Amino acid sequence: MKKLLAIALLLAASSALAQNRTAGCSCGIPGSVPTTWEIRHVDPTAQQAAVNAFNTWNLYVDTLRPQVGSAVSYDFGNGHNEILFFDFSTVPGLDSSTVGFAPSLPQGAFGNFNQCPMPAGTSCGIFSEADVWLSNAIDWHVARPNVDDSRDAAYYYSTAIHEIGHTMGLHHNFKNISTMNYYQDFAGQFVSRADVLAVRSQFPSRAKTVTDLATYAFRYDDTLQNGSYGNGALVPATVSPAQVAAGGNLTIRNWTIENLGSSAVTSARLRFFLSTDTNITTSDIYIGGFKWEPLTTWSDDPDGFQFTVPAGTPAGQYYLGAIVGSGDNLVQDTITYNNSWFLPGKITIGGGAPSAVCTPTSNRVCLNSNRYGVELTFRTPDGAQNNATVIKYTDNSALYWFTGPDNIEVVVKVLNACGFANHYWVYGAAATDLQYTLTVTDSKSGKVKTYSHAAGTPATAIADQSTFDTCP
Amino acid sequence: MKRLLSLAIALAIAASASATSMRRYSLEEVRDRAESVFVGRVVSSSVRPVMNGQLVATDYTIEVGEVLAGTVGATTTVTFLGGKDSRYDVAIAGSPALANGRSYLFFRTKQPNNTTVGWNQGLYRVEKVNLNGTEQTVLISGDGEMLRMTHGRLVRAESVTVRDGALVKAAVGDAHAGDPRDGNGVALNADGTPARRVAPSNAAAAEGPGSIATMDDVRLFVRSRQ
């Protein structure tokens, strides 16, 4: 009898809900909004992290009311919405490596969580309870790591924001930049435009009127993902060369800008700065950027642009960062956590006249009398980006390995053909099907050329006889 | 008393849905994390309460046909959270549901979880399909991705379904629909002069999709684990 009653309630709930639903990556909705949440973490740092995760969603829709509850064990089915750490190692039927889990009641209210958008005719219901369980076997970190920090795999905000998204009815989203994706966690800490559109659709009466521009140091290319779940689809932003003289050019590519606000931004700006620290501000050295008039949705830059480092830039090492804002004064909005980002590696500004030499590193080889810098990065099947290690073979040629020096993956040579072809020639060949990017920089002219190879494909040979035309 | 009450509520509602975050493993990680790898046919299933009755799990009895790694008896079980029978109806989104009589390739975790690595990532339907008049075995993950051999490596490839003995590419929704990208921004240097667009990098032409992976490919793959 009780079961019949529950089914009847579910049907009634679904019927009422159907009147308000619009298309989106969501199905199901909390029965009571705003929703009260009990935080069951014991550690104050974790408690605050949970509050922050809930409030990240509250920036856009006023729906969540987190409060620190007593440190009791879970009690799924008690009618309370709880976030807690849990031991997954002894749960039959659940892989112990599970990162997070968001159970909700009742059945059917959530539809198929991998479908986005939901197929027409899907019945979505009302949650009477939803919890977020996070694995207690993970060494969670709540401080913001760099984008290449391996601890990202255990990054609290990415997982908590993702699971909380599920409790709001959001489904996985593998076609967009989205915290509801499965991609690397450094990106998952950001509620994206796709996510905001989904929650506004879910909770139209709770949507806030906000101005919010976001920038990410990556671009999403779903044609690059392995299988269908987002890994490999993130293409990190790059800047090259790693060393350039003041007055020389830096090539920047793969940055993204999104408008998460309630309306178009009439004069949006994405500007790049050189900064001696990771706190990127408008007081840093401005080197250029993009403008949109207006920016309605989102944009990115797969090809890249060369920006000129202002003459007179002091020699030194700098982080490259970006800030988004409005107008020529770059007025930043009040949702600040996504207003800027920096790349983890530093670049060197040589100062004075253009430098005629490159500086070798474990990844960069300097060929042709130290004039041409050649660097190689690759991505492992799980999407992690790594520097290849170089072995200089002759003054014109080099070998690269990924996993060990006994396994050469790529051979590159830069030949001086000025005597008969008025060019320097770049040749390369690879014995790998991993994704890699080869960057060749002429330190004399500042010209940079990038050669990319997609994952899972046979590498074609590089035979570039036209790019480097500064002779001698 | 509180525990009994919550148990009663859970059984009364007897239904839940959940969204689970699994780490996305590479195929090599799936292989290396598995305690055993085997092919078997589902012969029966039963649902039981777990976690003090707050959730249920389904034990599938598997008639083992071939063991590729580890020690597995002629009959074994694989367990997935959630399940449905005359007493329970607990749906766990993302938790695989196996079909009686169907054969699967299992990458099974250790006890007591007794499930597949990353759930759908360690579970492959063994399907017979007709390709150009020839019957061939294909392996399709619980997430719908077919295994292929590309450049000598086993990879998860396109999402497919099998319909009337034929492979059909699965339809994928486009969540960007209705939210098109804005145009390119105007790129300017700090002094206001136009920045120069860099020619697109000469990405290698995409390779063909490779061949459909066979059980022999999988055997070699499993045998090569560390």
Reported pTM: 0.72
Residues 98-117 of B with CB under 8 A from A: 109-110, 112-117
> A8 falls in which pLDDT band (50, 70, 90)?
very low
- Give A109→chain B minimum CA distance, Å: 7
Question: b/e string for A42-72 if b means 16 or more Cβ within 10 A?
Answer: eeeebbebbbbbbebbbbbbebbebebbeee
What are the tokens at A66?
Answer: 């987190």
CB of A248 less than 8 A from some CB of B:
no
Minimum-distance CB partner of B182 among A79, A110, A298:
A298
Total count of residues recorded for chain A:
472
pLDDT for res A283? 96
Minimum-distance CB partner of B173 among A109, A115, A230:
A115
pLDDT for res A90? 86
Q: How far is it, in rounded angstroms, from Cα A35 to Cα A39?
A: 13
> A224 falls in which pLDDT band (50, 70, 90)?
low
Cis peptide before B49 (omega within 30 of 0): no
pLDDT for res B54? 77
Identify the weakest region by mean pLDDT among A442-451, B27-36, B197-206, B212-221.
Answer: B197-206
Phi/psi of residue A421, nearest 5 degrees = -130, 0
Question: In sequence order, which residues have a C-beta less than 8 Å from that of residue B197 and are 6 or more positions away?
Answer: A303, A304, A305, A306, B187
Q: Which of B201, B95, B50, B211 is nearest to B146 (CA)?
A: B211
CB of B55 less than 8 A from some CB of A:
yes
Minimum-distance CB partner of B54 among A77, A153, A231:
A77
> Which residue does chain A place closest to B33, by CA atoms?
A97
Phi/psi of residue A174, nearest 5 degrees = -100, 10
Residue A22 has pLDDT above 60, yes or no: no
Q: pLDDT (tens digit, 9 = 90+) per residue, A184-213?
A: 566 778 899 999 998 998 999 999 999 999
Residue B205 has pLDDT above 90, yes or no: no
Do the chains contact at A163 and B19, CB–CB below 8 Å? yes
Identify the weakest region by mean pLDDT among A118-127, B47-56, B105-114, B116-125.
Answer: A118-127
pLDDT for res A119? 67
Q: pLDDT (tens digit, 9 = 90+) per residue, A337-374?
A: 999 999 878 899 985 444 556 778 888 899 988 889 89
pLDDT for res A116? 61
ipTM, two decimals, is: 0.77
Chain B residues with CB under 8 Å of A108 CB are 15, 17, 91
Cis peptide before B209 (omega within 30 of 0): no
Q: pLDDT (tens digit, 9 = 90+) per residue, A299-330?
A: 998 889 999 999 999 999 999 999 999 999 99
Residues 249-308 of A with CB under 8 A from B: 249, 251, 253, 257, 268, 270, 286-292, 295-308
* Helix pair angle (A156-167, A44-58), 10° resolution: 50
- Bridge partner list, A129: A105
pLDDT for res B13? 32
Q: Count the Cβ atoms, other than its own, within 10 Å of residue A166.
A: 28
Task: Tell me the mean pLDDT in the region A408-435.
Answer: 88
Residue A297 has pLDDT above 90, yes or no: yes
CB of A108 less than 8 A from some CB of B:
yes
Q: Which of A438, A332, A35 is nearest to A199 (CA)?
A: A35
Q: pLDDT (tens digit, 9 = 90+) per residue, A117-127?
A: 666 776 778 88
